[in-house]
Amino acid sequence: MIVAQQKPLEEIKAMIAGAEKVLILGCGTCVTVCFAGGEKEVSILASQLRMATRMAGQEKEIREFTVQRQCELEFNALAADYVADSDLILSLACGIGVQTMNEQFPDKMTVPGLNTSGLSQPTEQGVWEERCQACGDCVLAETGGLCPVARCAKSLMNGPCGGSQRGICEVYADKQTPCVWDQIYHRLEALGQLDKLMEVRPAKQWQTSRDGGQRKIVREDLRL
């Protein structure tokens, strides 16, 4: 799931400073699950901004609305009337949602109320850990189902660096972050597949990652 965190209130206040009518637009999918941009978070932020602007003598009209998925045009269309009657849209969606709104409603500026941090797994209540960087060339079949791109601090593809000590990453030693290559080794050992570590793999196809520019997937069988 895509995980995000709300920006500091002072930063949000600065972004909406020049607007009289502000629409806070939530998203009912990923950012709702991570308690950052759902209907509840929209309501809380709206109350904070109403109080803050009133105390500053700059009372604004703050309105609230939440769509199911801000990354899809059909859902955003439900907010069209609110958008039309607003000076600024404060999006509590991921960066994809913010960009979708700006493309769909080019006459209105949509600004981000969240910082998007990545594709993560909920590992315990209130904790999300990055598991995938959407590199476009998945190697999980070769690494025991553990991603070295997202989970190695150096994104090493052929084993651990010399700084890994007793299964702990040297970059995050103070946090006792496990070295993913140590985990990969023990995972493959348990599966009886250690021979995979002896395979010479060609260089990873990084052109499918963000380094290759904007990515686009087209499924011809689904196109109208």
Closest by alpha carbon to 63, among 103, 16, 95, 97? 16
The one-letter amino acid at 5 = Q
**3 state DSSP class of 42:** helix
pLDDT > 70: what percent of the chain? 93
Q: What are the tens digits of pLDDT across the range 13-29?
A: 999 999 999 999 999 99
The number of residues making up the chain comes to: 224
**Token digits for 106?**
């080019």
Q: How far is 113 from 200, CA to CA, in rounded Å?
A: 45
pLDDT band at 211 (very low <50, low <70, confident <90, very high): low
pLDDT per residue over 153-184, tens digit each? 998 988 899 988 899 999 877 888 899 999 99
Q: Give pLDDT tens digits for 128-162.
A: 888 898 888 888 989 999 999 989 999 898 889 99
Confidence check: pLDDT of 101 > 90: yes
Q: What is the pTM of this model?
A: 0.81
Residue 28 phi, psi dihedral angles, 5° rounding: -90, 15
Mean pLDDT, rounded, for 33-48: 96
Q: What does the alpha-carbon distance between residue 177 and residue 171 come to, in Å, rounded to a whole number?
A: 9
Could you give all domains of the chain from N- to C-terminal order, each with its CATH number?
Answer: 2-118 (3.40.50.2300), 133-212 (no CATH)
Which of 36, 39, 40, 43 has its CA nearest to residue 3? 36
